[in-house]
Amino acid sequence: MRKESIKSASTRTCAPERENCAKYDEQSSITRKFERFCGFRLDDVSSFDKFTNLLYQPTDAASLGVVRALFGLCMVLDVVEERGLADVDIKWGDPSECRFPLIHGMKPPSLPWIIVIYGIMWMSAFGIMLGWRFKLACSCFVAAYWYIFLLDKTYWNNHTYLYGIVGTLLWGTEANKYFALDANKQKGTTSTVPLWNYFILKFQFFVLYFLAGLKKSGAEWLSGYAMTNLSAHWVFSPFKLILTTEQTDFFIVHWFGCIFDLTVGFWMLFQRTRVPAMIFCTVFHLMNSRLFSIGMFPYVCLATMPLFCNTDWPRKFISYTKSSCVIKSEDSKMETSEREVSGIKTVCKRIKEGNLKSKSVTRRQRFVVSLLLLHIGLQFFLPYSHFITKGYNNWVPGLYGYSWDMMVHVWDTILVVIKVHDNVSNEDRFLDPKAWVQTDRWEKHGDMARQYAFCLRENLIEQKKYMLQNGHQYKRNPKWTSLSSNLSIYIDVWCSLNGRFQQRMFDPNVDLLTVDWHPFRPISFLMPLLSQYSSYRYKIEEIQQHVYTWSNDTDVLFVADFPGMHLDNYIAKNFTNVSLTVLEGEVTYSDENQTEGVILSKESSIPIKTEQFHRVKTTSAYPACYMYTYNNRNKQQSDTNGPLEPETQKEVFSISKELNYKIEAWSRALNHIVNAFFYLVYDVPMVRRVHINK
């Protein structure tokens, strides 16, 4: 009896201990699972010093070295092609060409010196690829790259910004410890790098995908209006076996594109989901390389995917290929295997030794980690910082560069009118919107439109001086040579955003030479987007489909305008059966032969005479919407000459064509460098090509 009471008492005493042990085991199991899943312990991020120690853990440099070499190779190709070394004479050769620098007043150097800068950037890309004088190569590449980047905003893209960021981050790493000429020279050094070398680069590409997904998660993208008719390309042929063209556009391009960008970064972080995620990622980027003219961007993303793999995968891969491909004697095989295993063990030993070292954190390490955290904060903040830099906003926030809103906004510009008013003679002159410019990016940004206006005034005055110095030119262009220096410039841009009505972007009555602009204040001359008619896009599609059934050459154009404003339009003779129909509001129509205007209300229509100007003025108290329907004779002639080649019949990727293009581009690039050298050293005149507007 006494034994039983003692036993029951001991059981009651041990019960709490057992419960505590069970809880401890459960917590330990969760902790182990977390550590196995994430690669670090929760305790490692419990304080700043512990987090710093975590980021400075020695890690195998093999994967980083391979990624560095592949990124350098991509930059070697990019400098020639998308950066423009092959066509540097066309891009930068004309001193009167209008530029759009981020810092107003910043001007590019002369052509020979810009070629020198390009040459430095190109040679530095080779240095990054080969891992030769890596730090010097990175510094030269980054300095030259960002300088050219700042010279002209019209060439900005999300991926051009990405290249500069990756180059800057690589500059701070020790990516030359493996697969590099520097590593061969310094054989005594360890082949490990701090963990943060991988961490910050993986973060940069993770945030590329994730923020692109966040930008696509809005109604503008998910409604399917951004990338319409993209599925007509041959790369979507497998999807169209089970889906229609419209379904492919909506579900594959828009919805799957959003889900992919949002999640693929997470899938690549974890071991179990990494392989399928990388397969999807590879297919995604290869498709993009065929769909869009985005240079080396898909290949840079492919080249940096190994960052998400185990850091020692190159060593294991080399060990595997040697053991499976090289036929040797058994003794030789054993010696080779032992040597390879010994090499891997040496790296592991150095990593363990590093982990066992004193955990004291230096001031320099704290500073580096603070910079990394600052970079992380900036990368999350900048894409949403447009409430600060309001002067660069238009209908959508921010410049197309660091926002990661890739392909979310599609613009369709139908008309740009540039009016030069001479305030002395009170005369108007009109300029070609392609004058002294090679890109149309400026048309959608108020800051660039203002820069363009100042450039036009400067060029017109310089051209007048030149013509006055040449008598024959004066006689041929008396209208332009009589211009005074007291000018006003007005720009009227009509465009559509993501399938909306065509509408004017800037106030056409504002002189861009006198208007006030500030980078931190909203653009005063920007007309608002008529978002109240955004829901009209579904009806626009219905009307389009109905008009297309009339004949093979009919088309329709949708226009919206503000109260009190008017559109002066000229209909060329190649258009027939032109009519104007009012969809919303009230307008007054008049042409050259009419003394009084015709008032048109909602659902009213009127035929339009061709080969003359007409005016459509909005007279309602709210914005009016109307449409032109017409027959296009040019389309009739093309149909008569033969059917147009459908999108699905586009030529598939040709390796020989790509190689020929690259060989020609490299030949031109080398020729430019040689010409610049002889000009700067021996004063030999340079021959350059000129840009011709088609």
Average pLDDT by consecutive 10-residue portion of the chain (694 residues)? 49 54 59 68 86 96 98 98 96 95 94 98 98 98 98 93 98 96 80 96 98 94 92 93 94 96 96 95 96 95 97 92 60 47 50 55 96 97 94 88 88 96 94 94 96 97 84 65 91 97 98 96 97 94 94 95 96 93 97 87 94 94 97 67 44 77 96 97 92 74
CB atoms within 10 A of CB 284: 19
Q: What is the pLDDT of residue 45?
A: 81
Q: Which of 598, 622, 640 is the last residue of a domain?
A: 640
What is each CA distance from 356 to 188, 314, 363, 400, 520, in whole angstroms?
21, 25, 20, 47, 51
Say yes or no: 180 and 209 in one domain.
no
Per-residue three-class SS string for 366-402: HHHHHHHHHHHHHHHHHHHCCCCCHHHCCCCCCCCCC
Asked if residue 344 belongs to a domain, the reply is no
Q: Which amino acid is at 280?
A: F
Say yes or no: 428 and 518 in one domain.
yes
Asked if residue 448 belongs to a domain, the reply is yes
Among 478, 484, 427, smallest CA distance to 460 is for: 484
Asked if residue 46 belongs to a domain, the reply is no
CATH of the domain at 594: 2.60.120.10
Sheet with strand 624-632: strands edge to edge: 554-561, 624-632, 575-584, 605-607
Asked if residue 4 belongs to a domain, the reply is no
CB atoms within 10 A of CB 223: 16
23 is catalytic: no
Q: Which of 353, 377, 406 is the last residue of a domain?
A: 406
CA distance from start to end of the chain: 109
Distance CA 378, CA 59 (A): 26
Asked if residue 510 belongs to a domain, the reply is yes
Say yes or no: 562 and 461 in one domain.
no
Measure the CA angle with vertex 311, ends 309 and 314; round to 5°. Answer: 90
Burial string for 601-628 (b: 16+ CB within 10 Å, else e) reads: eeeeeeebeeeeebbbbbbbeebbbbbb
Say yes or no: 506 and 445 in one domain.
yes
DSSP per-residue string spanning 38-97: HSS-GGGGSSHHHHHHHHTSEEE-HHHHHHHHHHHHHHHHHHHTTS-STTHHHHH--TTS
The gap from C-alpha 258 to its chain's centroid, in whole angstroms, comes to 16
Asked if residue 548 belongs to a domain, the reply is yes
Catalytic choice (91, 153, 215, 216): 216
Distance CA 13, CA 142 (A): 69
Asked if residue 675 belongs to a domain, the reply is yes
Cβ neighbors of 348 (< 8 A, separation 6 or more) are: none
Radius of gyration of the chain (CA): 32
Distance CA 304, CA 309 (A): 10
Cβ neighbors of 398 (< 8 A, separation 6 or more) are: 383, 385, 386, 389, 392, 405
Measure the CA angle with vertex 158, ends 417 and 253; round to 5°. Answer: 90
Say yes or no: 226 and 174 in one domain.
no
Say yes or no: 518 and 651 in one domain.
no
Q: What is the pLDDT of residue 335?
A: 46
Q: What is the pLDDT of residue 592?
A: 85
Q: What is the pLDDT of residue 71?
A: 99
Say yes or no: 689 and 565 in one domain.
no
pTM, entire model: 0.89
Say yes or no: 242 and 382 in one domain.
yes
Among 596, 564, 567, 565, smallest CA distance to 580 is for: 567
Say yes or no: 228 and 371 in one domain.
yes
Token pair, residue 106, equals: 């910043």
Q: What is the pLDDT of residue 41?
A: 80
Say yes or no: 428 and 539 in one domain.
no
Distance CA 163, CA 174 (A): 18
For the chain, what is the domain count?
4
Say yes or no: 441 and 578 in one domain.
no
Q: What is the pLDDT of residue 634?
A: 76
Q: What is the pLDDT of residue 648?
A: 42
Asked if residue 35 belongs to a domain, the reply is no
Q: What is the pLDDT of residue 356?
A: 46
- What range defines the domain where residue 558 resides? 535-640
Cβ neighbors of 66 (< 8 A, separation 6 or more) are: 178, 179, 306, 314
Say yes or no: 309 and 272 in one domain.
yes
Residue with tokens 């890690």: 59
Q: What is the pLDDT of residue 685?
A: 94
